[in-house]
Each structure stands twice: as C-alpha cells, then as structure tokens.
Structure 1
Amino acid sequence: MMTTILFPSGPVFAEQSALRLSLNTVLHQQGTIDGAWWPRTRDAGTELPALISAVDQRLGRAVLRVGLHVDAWDHIPRRIQAPGRQVRVAWFRSADPHLITLSFAGTSPVSLLVIPPRTAAGPAIAALTRAVADTFGVRPADLLRAAAPEESSPAQDGSASWENEGGRVTEPAPERPATRLRPVTH
C-alpha cells in the first residue's frame, strides 16, 4: 500500500512505513498552522523520534522542544534522543489537543495539526492537504471536521471546541418522565 507524504514541493509517494507529514512553504504565519502530521499511534515515545528527525531534515534546524496535549497521547517521555542532543517534551492540558508545537533556537515555533491515528486514509490525506493551504483563522478541529464531516463530533454547535478553549460543555438536562396530576381533595 502506498502512503502519500505531502511536502511543499508536492506529493511524494513512499512505502507505508514512511512518515506522513505536510509542512507549509511559509512558516510562522500568525493565525495559521504550519502543517499537519498523521502519526500511526497515540504513543508519543514511539512516534516523536521520526517526526523530530523529519522536521530537522526538512527545515535544516534542530527541534529543541516538543509541546503537546497530555490527554491526546499515551506514553509521553520527558525527553527524546535526537542526533547530538536530547529534545525536551512538555505536555499541557491547556493546549489544543489537535496541535503539536515544535520549538527551535532563535525562531518561532512550528505548530502542526495532529490527525488522529485511526483516521481513514481519504480524510487524513485531505487534512494533510488542507493544513498547508490558507488556514488563517481556521481552528484545528474545523480542519479535521472539514476533512471528515461524517466522523465529526456530535457537538456541531461548536461547544466542544469552546470547551477546549477553556469553557465548559454541559450535558442536556435529562427529560423527566411525565407525571400524572392527582386531583387535590380537602
């Protein structure tokens, strides 16, 4: 099976073991994401070394720190071994669970949309493609929803996104069973 890897120069076809990553040709645009990554598992310790290596090579600079949402990943190590250095891994509950941030020395961090590992190939490739298009002001959850509208969360009103931004989603009040009114006698 062939996997599409999207780079700014266009699609490159590789074996299934290749990293699934797209990076924008112009990085660090305020209000946008810089690309997307489609990991194979939720195991950060397994997935991050290949991502760090690919980004190092593609951008020609060394990733020094990775930031991610703690609930979106399993097995999050404190550090990842990379050539000539250890990359620190920080995890947060306040970060967007659909993003991963890569930090470098002397430049702005790179933000990547994380496509859930179990996403079907068609929607995942669509999200990889959309992530390097004009994404100004588009929330990561909206990019994922646009790539796979049939798989989107039941909260179509945006309340789930609002919760990720610090709000609170409340469950609808359960319906009460109908009660019969009894006549009052004195």
Structure 2
Amino acid sequence: MTDAGTSPHDGAKPPRLLPDEIHTAVAPGTALLRLETTGSRQSLLDGAWWPRSRDVERELPPLITALTEYLGPLTRIGLDASAWNGIPTRLVVDDRVVHLDSFPVGDDTVLITRGDNDHFSLMVVPPAADPEAARTAMARAVRADNASQAAEILLAELPHPAGPQGGTAG
C-alpha cells in the first residue's frame, strides 16, 4: 500500500474526483480551493483544508498566505474554539493583521472573511485523517455541484472510529 493513493496492482483504479497528479499532491497542510467570487455562489463550501495539527499559530499563517495570493487581503478567520488549541485574537501574517474569531462552527469548518462582508467557507479535514480518505473528502468538497455540508462529507468519506469503550451490549 502506498501513501500516494496509487495501487501497487496493475488492475483498474477506482475513478477519482481529481486528476492523479493533484490527488497525490494533497497532503496535510494542503488547501484545495474552488473559488466563485460572484454573489451567486451555489455550493455550500468554497474549498477544503487539511492542517497538520490543531495549533492555530502554526497552521494558519501558511493558509492565510496562500489564500491572500488568490483572494486578496483577508480581514477575519472564524474558528471553533473547542477544536483548536489557543486561538489568539489576531495574527500578523506578511505584515498584515488578520483577526481571529471564535464561532461555534464545528471542528469541520473555517470561515474566511475578505473585506467587510465577503465570506468563504472551507471544510477542515482532521489532521490525523487517512490520506486516501482525506483526499477523497477534499475533492468532494471542492466540486462545483457539491450540496453537502462539511460534516456530511467527512462522515461519508472518513473511516469512523470504533464505538465507545466499555459500552453495554443490548
């Protein structure tokens, strides 16, 4: 088994939502974006991000830099405080202040604000996710016809942990 998402067998591979060269490049820390900057965005998600950890000060600066390159200056990022380690009120990235807000959006979503009122929603893949499942979930999130929320995609695509320990049989 390989981490690159390829099969060691020469048989037919299952169809992928992303071309192989992009699919294999997706790793923790990757942001996949499908940005529609008009007011009539059809999809619930604008992209997907797979951080390496839940450390805000380590993970957000590279994301902010990458997003700023495509969106222009970001003003705010909304995160769920229960999912991230120590959210400061702001970060300075590339000599710009980006305010961080704590919202109960869930551990599966990050809200990005450009300007005063232009919002983008990114699905957040858990840092410890299986690489193949994470890539599949990210590809599904960025599809133009996606009508699923981040939690739905992650539940459908990521392996579920075993039931609670010590449960009673019924």
> TM-score when scaled to structure 2?
0.74
The residue identity in structure 2 corresponding to 1:67 is G
Note closer, same or farther for the CA distance 1:12–1:122 as it changes in structure 2 (3 Å cut).
Answer: closer
The residue identity in structure 2 corresponding to 1:69 is D
Q: Is the 8 A contact 2:29 2:59 kept in 1?
A: no
User: Quick one: which of 146, 152, 156 aligns to 1:146?
Assistant: 156
Give me the whole-angstrom Cα distance separating, in 2, the residues matched to 1:96 and 1:21.
18
The answer to whether structure 1 residue 71 and structure 2 residue 82 are counterparts is yes
Residue by residue over 1:144-184, the C-alpha shift from the partner in whole angstroms, topping out at 9 and shown as x without a partner, is 02212x32686xxxxxxxxxxxxxxxxxxx89xxxxxxxxx
Residue by residue over 1:114-160, the C-alpha shift from the partner in whole angstroms, topping out at 9 and shown as x without a partner, is 00000010011011101111222x12111002212x32686xxxxxx
The structure 1 segments of at least 4 consecutive aligned residues displaced by more than 4 Å after TM superposition are: 1-4, 12-16
Give me the whole-angstrom Cα distance separating, in 2, the residues matched to 1:153 and 1:144.
16
User: Quick one: which of 87, 99, 109 aligns to 2:119?
Assistant: 109
Q: Is the 8 A contact 1:98 1:115 kept in 2?
A: yes
The answer to whether structure 1 residue 56 and structure 2 residue 68 are counterparts is yes
Q: Is the 8 A contact 1:2 1:15 kept in 2?
A: no
Moved more, 18-27 or 64-73: 18-27
Q: Is the 8 A contact 1:124 1:147 kept in 2?
A: yes
Give me the whole-angstrom Cα distance separating, in 1, the residues matched to 2:123 and 2:107.
9
Q: Is the 8 A contact 1:130 1:143 kept in 2?
A: yes
The corresponding residue for 1:40 is 52
Unaligned runs of 5+ in 2: 6-16
Give me the whole-angstrom Cα distance separating, in 2, the residues matched to 1:141 and 1:82.
29
Structure of greater relative contact order (alpha carbons < 8 Å, 6+ residues apart): 2
Unaligned runs of 5+ in 1: 155-173, 176-186
Q: State the structure with more CA Rg.
A: 1
The answer to whether structure 1 residue 135 and structure 2 residue 146 are counterparts is yes
Identity across aligned pairs (percent)?
30
Note closer, same or farther for the CA distance 1:45–1:54 as it changes in structure 2 (3 Å cut).
Answer: same
Note closer, same or farther for the CA distance 1:147–1:122 as it changes in structure 2 (3 Å cut).
Answer: same
Give me the whole-angstrom Cα distance separating, in 2, the residues matched to 1:135 and 1:12.
18
> TM-score when scaled to structure 1?
0.68
Q: CA RMSD in A?
A: 3.1
The residue identity in structure 1 corresponding to 2:107 is P
Give me the whole-angstrom Cα distance separating, in 2, the residues matched to 1:3 and 1:75.
32
Residue by residue over 1:57-94, the C-alpha shift from the partner in whole angstroms, topping out at 9 and shown as x without a partner, is 123x011110011101112121111223211101123x
Note closer, same or farther for the CA distance 1:114–1:74 as it changes in structure 2 (3 Å cut).
Answer: same
Please report how far the alpha carbon of residue 30 of structure 1 lies from its aligned counterpart in structure 2 after TM superposition.
4.9
